[in-house]
Chains A and B, each alone.
Chain A
């Protein structure tokens, strides 16, 4: 079976390699991928949105629908994991559950390191979120780092200790709240007479020029994305590492 798979995949790989030789050369500035839409984006993104980071401008302004639905998809993934795994411990119908090592006592080095690293991580996450306009970063990266700080807390202390800090209900509220913020900004722009997620509508409320209004709109939706991604990472860790009991993690 494995040899047959190997032979068939090697044949497919050979065919694809021969076909790939027809594709344009690497690093060619005149390749078709770089000739149609992207020079327009590169040249007009700054005067339209006042955002030096072109990736953030395209992600949150020109392709904001994609980002909104991606936020919804990642929220849905957290909900699905909760539906599959979450259970109360006295209803076990499993066959073999290997003994998990019990944690005894507390570890001074881990706790001390966590106390020093976690606040710095959270401030760095907020910095990455806020500076998404000017440097590599943005909503996703900041949200993931923020979520990872809570996972670090759960690894160095207890899962139950982390649950007293960031309860499951608040996690789910944050998951939904970020996506709601994103769609809410879109609906606000729609109600003011522009397109859905056309941030130039915010120029009337905020009293700034249209380009600056788009920049502020990008920041607002990035905050929404960051909140959702943070809560989703924490929720996925809570469910997967404890196997649904929420009793003891890694």
Chain B
């Protein structure tokens, strides 16, 4: 029979809390390369969130695209701009 994928709300709450912390950190850090890395961490956490919500195709795509391609693109652009932002 299908397994009972009951959603532990404590687990989800912990991941959501870490996501909010990563989002606030990605917008407040001054070094742009660190912002790119924290955005990659945010993508990984939301991939976990979707696996907990049983959306496995979406989680696969987000892991490949968000954590792989998007981080590399931001890092590739960050070599042309001033690395320290003023706010």
Q: Measuring CB to CB, which residues of chain A are less than 8 angstroms from any residue of chain B?
A: 27, 53, 55-56, 97-98, 100, 128, 136-138, 140-141, 144-145, 147-148, 151, 155, 233, 236-237, 240-241, 243, 249-250
Q: Give the CA-CA distance A140 to B75 in the complex, in Å.
A: 23
Which chain A residues border B72 with CB–CB below 8 Å?
A: 151, 155, 237, 241, 250
A100 and B79 contact, Cβ closer than 8 Å, known pairs A144-B68, A148-B69, A237-B72: yes
Report if A137-B76 is in contact (Cβ < 8 Å); known contacts: A144-B69, A147-B69, A148-B69.
no
Main secondary structure of the interface of B (DSSP, over half): helix
Chain B 72-87 near chain A by CB (<8 Å), digits 1 or 0 = 1101110111100000
Q: In this assembly, does B57 line the interface, its C-beta being within 8 Å of a C-beta of chain A?
A: yes
Interface 9-mer from B16-24, B37-45, B59-67? B59-67
Are B57 and A250 interface neighbours, CB within 8 A? no
Query: In whole angstroms, how far apart are the Cα atoms of A31 and B17 in the complex?
Result: 26
Smallest CB-CB separation from B7: which chain A residue?
A27
B13 close to A (CB within 8 Å): no
Residues in B neighbouring A138, C-beta threshold 8 A:
57
Q: Report the separation of the CA atoms of residues A155 and B77 in the bound assembly, to the nearest whole angstrom.
A: 14
Q: How far is the CB of A52 from chain B (nearest CB, A)?
A: 13
Interchain nearest-CB distance for B52 vs A (Å): 12
User: Would you give the shortest CB distance from B44 to chain A, in whole angstroms?
Assistant: 15
The reply to whether A97 and B80 contact each other, CB–CB distance below 8 Å, is yes
* Nearest CB in chain B: distance from A58 CB, A: 10
In contact, A140 and B73 (Cβ under 8 angstroms) = no
Contact A148 B82 (CB under 8 A): no
